[in-house]
Amino acid sequence: MMRIENMEMAAENLKYDESQKIPEDLLEQVNTKSRWESGEAEAIHRPVIPYYKMVWMRLRKDKLAMFGIAVIVCMLLAAVFGPMLSPYSYEDTDFTAMLQGPSPEHWFGTDNLGRDVFVRTLYGARISLSIGFAAAAINMVIGVFYGGIAGYFGGKVDMIMMRIVDVLSGIPSLLYLILLMMFLGASVKSILIAMCLTYWITTARMVRGSILTLREQEYALAAKVCGQSKWSILIHHLIPNSIGSIIVTVTFLIPSAIFEEAFLSFLGIGISVPMASWGTMCNDAIQYLFAEPYLMIFPAAAISLTIFSLNFLGDGLRDALDPRLIR
């Protein structure tokens, strides 16, 4: 009897309470058919970010890389427009204003011939940056195709081409440069020809290693099955997929070329007078190093700042283009 009474009491406690009724508007049927037909059921609402936009987003997080970009842009603008806005020329001499220190009239002072050091520094930026970018571009083209051919065709072609690279890399590049400059003469054209002999070796080795890996990927094999020629696969598929590593390598080639040009000009076998180069300005300033140190400080600072900025940019691009280092 006690058990029956307990069951009756439990039943009374479980009586339906109207206040606990679920509102009907919450029980509205979802029209899954219309959502399926419209494609909303499988829609992915995550925004698709293009690869190069993602690279730029990563690069912007690197403060040193952004500093490098700002310095390079400012240097380019100053080199192009600075000499045009100045009343002085890089070759104008004024023997009444020789070896004057920095002043409102001559921001960087004057040299031993009364020439404005500020204008000569900006004009030297034209020469140095032009040689740096031109040498990097030419060597990029040579290195990409040389390394691409060696890596994709392989076999005896790869062996012969890479043995040539080994022989060339075994001789110091400065020796090539100095010997060629002595035969070709001091000019921008001679410097570019001399740099094009060995500067492409680093790019060629990098591209070869990348092509050896990429040629076994599915898209390369699919292109081969579809009947595309080897040259078409190399140019349209393999080289474009190596562009990230190529850009980073070229970024490091530019400061190297700028330094080599400055070194040759410093030795007196680079840019000939009266043309202004950072290297020739440093060479002219040696005899006044302690008496007039500003003659050495400004061109040396321009060389250092440019090389550091390009190296910062290269490091930033290397990290931004590497998918394993997504931040």
Q: Which of 264, 279, 88, 302 has the alpha carbon at shortest distance from 176? A: 264
| Residue recorded with tokens 């920095």 | 102
The one-letter code for the residue type at 1 is M
- Collapsing DSSP states into helix, strand and coil, what is residue 232? helix
Answer yes or no: is pLDDT of 152 > 80. yes
DSSP code per residue over 80-134: HHHHHHSSS-TT---TTSTT--S-SSSTT-B-TT--BHHHHHHHHHHHHHHHHHH
Answer yes or no: is pLDDT of 186 > 50. yes
Angle at 84 between CA 83 and CA 90, to 5 degrees: 35
Cβ distance 191 to 270 under 8 Å?
Answer: yes
Answer yes or no: is pLDDT of 182 > 70. yes
256 vs 253: CA distance, rounded Å: 5
Burial of 274 (0-12, 13-18, 19+ CB in 10 A): middle
Per-residue tokens: 159:
């062996």
- Phi/psi at 116 (5° precision): -70, 120
H or E, element range at 203: helix 200-214
pLDDT in tens, 250-295: 888 888 888 888 888 777 777 777 777 888 888 888 888 888 888 8
Q: Cα–chain-centroid distance for residue 60?
A: 13
Cβ distance 214 to 152 under 8 Å?
Answer: no
Query: What's the pTM?
Result: 0.72
Per-residue tokens: 16:
């339906």
Cα-Cα-Cα-Cα dihedral sign, residues 169, 171, 175, 181: negative
What is the chain's length? 327
Q: Which of 132, 160, 131, 167 has the alpha carbon at shortest distance from 146? A: 160
**What is the model's pLDDT at position 28?**
52
Binning pLDDT at 50, 70 and 90, where does residue 36 land?
A: very low
pLDDT in tens, 71-119: 889 888 888 887 777 777 777 777 777 777 788 887 888 887 878 888 8
DSSP at 234? I
Residues 6+ positions from 85 with CB-CB distance below 8 Å: none
Domains of the chain listed by start with CATH number: 72-98+105-325 (1.10.3720.10)
190 vs 184: CA distance, rounded Å: 6
The share of the chain scoring above pLDDT 90, in percent, equals 1
**What is the model's pLDDT at position 48?**
63
